[in-house]
């Protein structure tokens, strides 16, 4: 049983002992390195490579994370939390609602949230309380940014959060081991084209219905 599963079974999430400052820094470095290497090489990247990239020994990595699934769990939490931070900051700091949406979308791409899809494999507990809480916060933050843009009359009314997240995810989905050219240099250019298409008044009628996040979960 992994440490994550044991924690969920005991119902003691959030009651882990507080880490020393140096241990916390090591933990954060490991999560950051795991996120980077998994985006580059996929979820099966050797843990030795993650430890090397983080500048720690293998023993330090295993002291913080019992196995690969526990590490992926925390990488997922980190990506969700950082993306929610970006949405909340954009809404709080930008006076123009659509500019807040633009800022968030470009920032979300930098977080490479498309990497979450291959990371959330069958072995990951998608209903873990920590993941549910992080997902709820992220959804609320993105809803707030889009709601403000919609209320200002600048965002077309026939789209929902799912539409936005599908576009961001597709543009940031990693292609580990692919011989395709590096498309990262074009991402922000293509995002700008996409965002221009979100502005009101709409220039065309979209087929189908606006996609919510519940729609995406039902179809996954």
Query: What pLDDT tens digit does each residue of the chain (220 aa) get?
Result: 443 344 434 443 444 556 688 889 999 999 999 998 988 887 889 999 999 999 999 999 999 999 999 999 999 999 999 999 999 999 999 999 999 999 999 998 888 777 666 666 656 788 899 999 999 999 999 999 999 999 999 999 998 998 898 888 887 765 544 444 455 667 778 788 888 888 888 877 877 777 776 766 665 5
In the numeric block, which tokens belong to residue 130? 């920590």
Whole-angstrom distance, CA of residue 136 vs CA of residue 72: 19
- Write down the pLDDT at residue 78: 92
pLDDT at 14: 45
Residue 152 is encoded by which pair of tokens?
């200002």
Could you tell me where the DSSP H helices lie in the chain? 3-10, 21-41, 47-54, 58-64, 68-93, 97-110, 116-119, 129-151, 161-172, 184-198, 213-219
Q: What gap in Å lies between CA 210 and CA 198, rounded to an integer?
A: 12
Q: What pLDDT does 187 receive?
A: 76
Predicted model pTM: 0.77
Q: For the chain, how big is the Rg over CA atoms in Å? A: 19
Please calculate the CA angle 32-38-43 and round it to the nearest 5 degrees.
130
Separation CA 68–CA 62 (nearest Å): 9
- Cα-based angle 122, 126, 132 (whole degrees, multiple of 5): 170
Backbone angles phi, psi at 124, to 5 degrees: -90, 135
Alpha carbon distances (Å) from 173 to 41, 96, 116: 12, 29, 8
The per-residue pLDDT for 175 is: 53
Q: For 140, which DSSP code?
A: H
CA gap 30, 70 in Å, rounded? 12
Helix (H, G, I), strand (E, B) or coil at 199: strand
Instruction: Using the CB atoms, write b or e for 181-205: b if 16+ within 10 Å.
Output: eeeeeebeeebeeebeebbeeeeee
pLDDT reported for residue 11: 41
Phi, psi of 181 (to 5 degrees): -65, 165
């Amino acid at each position: 049983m992994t440490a994550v599963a044991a924690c969920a079974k005991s119902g003691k999430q959030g009651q882990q002992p507080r880490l020393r400052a140096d241990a916390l820094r090591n933990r954060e470095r490991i999560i950051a390195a795991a996120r980077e290497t998994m985006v580059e090489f996929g979820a099966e990247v050797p843990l030795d490579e993650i430890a090397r990239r983080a500048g720690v020994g293998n023993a330090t990595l295993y002291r913080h994370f019992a196995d690969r699934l526990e590490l992926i769990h925390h990488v997922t939490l980190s990506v969700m939390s950082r993306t929610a931070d970006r949405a909340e900051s954009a809404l709080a700091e930008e006076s123009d609602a659509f500019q807040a949406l633009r800022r968030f979308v470009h920032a979300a791409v930098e977080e490479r949230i498309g990497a979450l899809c291959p990371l959330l494999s069958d072995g990951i507990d998608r209903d873990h309380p920590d993941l549910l809480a992080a997902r709820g916060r992220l959804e609320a933050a993105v809803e707030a940014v889009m709601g403000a843009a919609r209320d200002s009359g600048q965002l077309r009314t026939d789209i929902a959060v799912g539409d936005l997240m599908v576009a961001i995810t597709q543009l940031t989905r990693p292609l580990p081991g692919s011989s395709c050219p590096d498309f990262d240099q074009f991402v922000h250019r293509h995002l700008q084209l996409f965002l221009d298409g979100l502005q009101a008044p709409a220039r065309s009628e979209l087929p189908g219905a606006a996609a919510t996040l519940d729609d995406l979960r039902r179809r996954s």
